[in-house]
Chain A
Amino acid sequence: MTTELDLVSADLTNTGLANADLEAIRHSVAHLLASVASPPSMLRVTAGEVAVELHWGPVTTGHPAAAAPSAEPTPRLVEESYVPEQTVLSGEPLATRGTSIFAPTVGAFYRAATPGAPPFVNVGDIVAAGQQMGIVEAMKFMIPVEADRPGRVTEVLKADAAPVEYGEALFIIEPLAEG
């Protein structure tokens, strides 16, 4: 693992990024690697807009399409709870778990505007970018939880009124099918 990381750092030196940025990426990658259950067989880092890919199982070099990341915008910073793309053994297209929507602050998570009102969203709902999905309340400040991209809600991870910390995943949404 260490060897790979050293290679990564060598590859990053000509990207024009500041050293501090490179250190941040290297740090995030090391953190990500430490948090996964089994070591990946391949690690790919693109430094321009910062993309990190982890692959498990044989690397599918014959199917570049399968290894390419999805068309979604890549996150600017690799977060602890970022769910890495996973390649299945056969090299078939990815079975992704979608994208997490995170808590904007520490506080109490509410699924509805008032107690007893219908939830902002339910599993299966289609949301638009910017649509409100919930509320996190901290000291009577109501901070809206909004979808950062369009998609379909596949999971609601926290119960109504549950305490959440900053950055905890609240929802999973998956991208809508093309066309």
Chain B
Amino acid sequence: MFTSVLIANRGEIALRVLRACRELGLRTIAVYSTEDRESLAVREADEAVHIGPAPARESYLNIAALIEAARRTGAEAIHPGYGFLAEDADFAEVCAAEGITFVGPPAPVTRQLGDKTAARALMLEAGLPLLPGSVEPLQSAQEAQAVAEKIGFPVIVKAAAGGGGRGMRVITEAADFAAGYAETRAVAQSLFGDSRVYVERYLEHARHVEVQVLADRHGTTLHLGERDCSVQRRHQKVIEETPAPNVPAEVTRAMGEAAVAGARYAGYEGAGTFEFLVDRDGSFYFMEVNCRIQVEHPVTEMVTGIDLVQEQLRIAAGLPLQWSQDEVQPRGVAIECRINAEDPGRGFMPTPGVLREFRPAAGAFVRVDTHGYPGYRVSPSYDSLLAKLVVWAPDRAAALARMRRALAEFKVAGHGVSTTIGVLGKIIDDPRFRGAVHSTSLLDEMQAGS
């Protein structure tokens, strides 16, 4: 196994990876932008390299600087975390060319699955169910309109290169289609430098349920159960939980098997996530694959007892998985709330500033993954995730009670800083969420006061 890992990320995930490395006895190398020079990851790492100024494209997205940092510190592996270069096949290729182990799937797999239309075509071949829509990118506005009318409104237009909830648009009426299609293409071009889009049926009351998989290089591919990520705002996840409440066990079992079949077909290696939409009648449809560790991975860790980041590192080192599918036995319920430095009263606008008070929740069966501390400056340069509050309990009612208690305990204050703690508490108390009859529209419905 390699003995040193450079962590090409920042924030809570940099610390998360650092801890996994340390538990495996690996030397850790942090990289940081000027903005992050006082971060906990920099303080905790065995070594830290200053790679650039605050803007991500000059630091955390700067492949040359990262490779230089790895070379000079003798790092044998690079863990990319999530976001930034985590799903950049070029970065994975450069690492391989430099003789550095990239902790993630092989570059060709990431390249194919990262293109959403290519991923849809591949998973169709693998036998996974897709939503009605176009498999290949649309060639013209006329073709797009024809496909949309054939599958019926509402439809969703998505960027082939999209991700992170960006580059997609729901269109409810045929009359609005041409304008919405053109706009999504323009947005996709400006965000991803790739204007290709595809269209599929939009399910209004669906649940977003994803399956965690682990695949080693020795032919073992496992699924570690599902995560329900239906509570979203602007297509970004706010609360995640496992198991998916109110989804029949035979449905989640079939999704797990589909994910494993898809991962095997794609030649997947490492930790990955297969995202599905689940309709009210229990039918499920493949959406996309995330070729990385995900923000919400802790809920799976809490119920399975498997450290996903350690497994990523072991798999990258060529070690075999230590379990069979039957030995993966999720137990109890885990829920994660994302505490963001945002103002829910102003459209979840990010609120940078200095934390005068930062007191995370604690106590039995409570886990907090955070890079925050009193005096920490929430930077306007990066995303607004401040902490992930995760609780475990034997059943969902107890988990909800524990989350309610933990949210009330979590204190964050600072000049100009708002957080999502209050709105998270409202969701936890919402009868639709408590009754698990919610869908991805829950937050919109709550804001509309219905």
Chain A residues close to B by CB (< 8 Å): 19-20, 23, 26-27, 31, 79-80, 105-108, 138-139, 141, 163, 165-168
Contact = CB atoms under 8 A, between A and B. Distances in A.
Which of A108, A141, A163, A166 has the most chain B CB within a 10 Å cutoff? A166
Contacts of B377: 23, 27
B394 interface: no
Given A105-B52, A106-B51, A106-B52, A23 B64 contact: no
A165 B73 CA distance: 12
A53 B35 CA distance: 22
A165 B50 contact: yes
Contacts of B415: 19, 23
A168 B37 CA distance: 13
Contact of B353 (A23, A139, A168): A23
B51 A165 contact: yes
Contacts of A107: 64-65, 68
B352 A105 contact: no
A7 B64 CA distance: 43
A103 B317 CA distance: 35
Contacts of B37: 80
Contact of A139 (B51, B52, B64, B416): B64
A30 to B, nearest CB: 9
Q: Is the interface of B mostly helix, strand, loop or mixed?
A: mixed
Nearest to A168: B50
Contacts of B63: 139
Nearest to B52: A166
B53 interface: yes
A106 B354 contact: no
B112 interface: no
B346 interface: no
B8 to A, nearest CB: 13
A155 B69 CA distance: 26
A81 to B, nearest CB: 11
B189 interface: no
Contacts of A27: 354, 377
Interface in B362-406: 377, 380
Contacts of A106: 49-52, 65, 68-69, 72
23 contacts: A19-B353, A19-B415, A19-B416, A20-B352, A26-B354, A27-B354, A31-B38, A80-B34, A105-B52, A105-B65, A106-B50, A106-B69, A107-B64, A107-B68, A108-B68, A138-B65, A139-B63, A139-B67, A141-B64, A165-B50, A166-B50, A167-B53, A168-B50
